[in-house]
Amino acid sequence: MSLPPDLIPEPARPDLDAYFERIGYSGSTSPTLDVLAALQRLHPAAIPFEAVDVFLGRPVDISPAAVERKLIGARRGGYCYEQNGLFKRVLTALGYQVTGLIGRVQWQVAEDAPERPRTHMALKVRVRGNDWLADVGFGGSTLTAPVLWMLETPQTTPHGTYRLVAKGPETVLQQEVDGEWMRVYTLSPDPQIDVDYLPANWWSSAHPEGHFRKNLIAARSPEGMRLNLLNNRLTVRPVDGEPVRRQLDVDGLERCLADDFGLPVEPDWRPALVRAVENGEQA
C-alpha cells in the first residue's frame, strides 16, 4: 500500500546557500549559539510572516520541497509550519539538535476563554548542553533571538523582553508589554515529528473559523521595528517609540505588500485585497 503524497518522506536537507542568500547571512556555519542567534535575527527580517494563500482559499503545502520553493525560490513568506519547518531543517543540516514542539496560541486571548486547539509550531534547540526556544513564525511577536529554557527569567531580545513560566507540565511563553506579562502561547512538552503538524496545518488553513481564513495578515521584524498588517491596517512599531498606524486603500495595500513585506503580489490577489479593505472598514 502506498502512502498519500503528503505523507511520503522527502529529503530534509535544504539548499543552505540559497537560504543564506535569502536572509542575507554570510557568516560561520558552525552549530554555535552565536550562529543560531544571527540566523534567528535575520530570518524574520527577510522572510515575512504571511498567510496570503489561506486568505485566498488556497491549500498550504508544508512538505519540505514545497516550502523551500515558496519561501526561498519564489521569495514569499509563510506561517509557522512553513517558517519553523524550514528553520528546523536548516538548523538540523548545520548540526544542531532540534525538537519540534506544538502549542496553543494565547496572544490577546482572555484568561477565562475556552481552550484553543494546539496550532502553533515552535522549536527547542540544544546548544552545548542548554535548551533554547527558537521561533521564527509567530507574526508580530516572533522571537528575534533564542530564549534560554530557564523558567521565570526575563530575557531581552532585539524586539522585546520575554520569559518562560511553568503551567503544570506545559511551558508558557510570555512577553512584557507596557510593564505587564502577556501570554503568547503554551507549549506541550511532547516532541512532534513532521507528520504531527499535518492536522494542525489543515485546521489553520482550511477550517472556516480559522483566523487566517477571515483576515489578511502579514508581519516582518527588521532591525529596530516591527511591521504588522491586519487587513488594510499597517502598524509600524519602533522598538523605542510609539506605534504609527495607517489605513490603506486597495492600491496602497498592494504597494504595502510589495514594498514593506517584499512579496511578489500577483494580479489574482486583487479581489482578496478588496475584501481585506472591506474587513478593515467594518472593524
What mean pLDDT do residues 53-82 have? 97
Confidence tier at 283 by pLDDT (50, 70, 90): low
Question: Is 88 a member of any domain?
Answer: yes
Question: Is 5 a member of any domain?
Answer: no
Question: Is 6 a member of any domain?
Answer: no
What mean pLDDT do residues 15-43 have? 98
Q: Is 80 exceeded by the pLDDT of residue 249?
A: yes
Does residue 113 or residue 197 have the better pLDDT?
197
Q: How far apart are the first and last CA of the chain?
A: 50
Question: Is 78 a member of any domain?
Answer: yes
Question: Is 4 a member of any domain?
Answer: no
Does residue 113 or residue 225 have the better pLDDT?
225
Domains held by the chain: number: 1
Question: Is 2 a member of any domain?
Answer: no
Instruction: Name the pTM for this structure.
Output: 0.94
Question: Is 1 a member of any domain?
Answer: no
Q: Is 70 exceeded by the pLDDT of residue 109?
A: yes
Please identify which of the residues 135, 159, 194, 256 carries the catalytic annotation: 135
Confidence tier at 13 by pLDDT (50, 70, 90): confident
Residue 80 is among the residues annotated as catalytic for this protein: yes
- Residues spanned by the domain of 82: 12-282
**Percent of residues, the chain, with pLDDT higher than 70:** 95
- What is residue 210's predicted lDDT score, i.e. its pLDDT? 86
Please identify which of the residues 43, 53, 61, 80 carries the catalytic annotation: 80
Residue 135 is among the residues annotated as catalytic for this protein: yes
Question: Is 43 a member of any domain?
Answer: yes
- What is residue 4's predicted lDDT score, i.e. its pLDDT? 52
CATH of the domain at 244: 3.30.2140.20
Q: Distances in Å between the alpha carbon of 209 and those of 50, 116, 203, 212, 213?
A: 18, 12, 9, 9, 7
Please identify which of the residues 120, 159, 194, 256 carries the catalytic annotation: 120
Residue 196 is among the residues annotated as catalytic for this protein: no
What mean pLDDT do residues 129-136 have? 98
Q: What is the DSSP string of 153-216?
A: --EEETTEEEEEEEETTEEEEEEEETTEEEEEEEE-SS-B-GGGHHHHHHHHHH-TT-HHHHS-
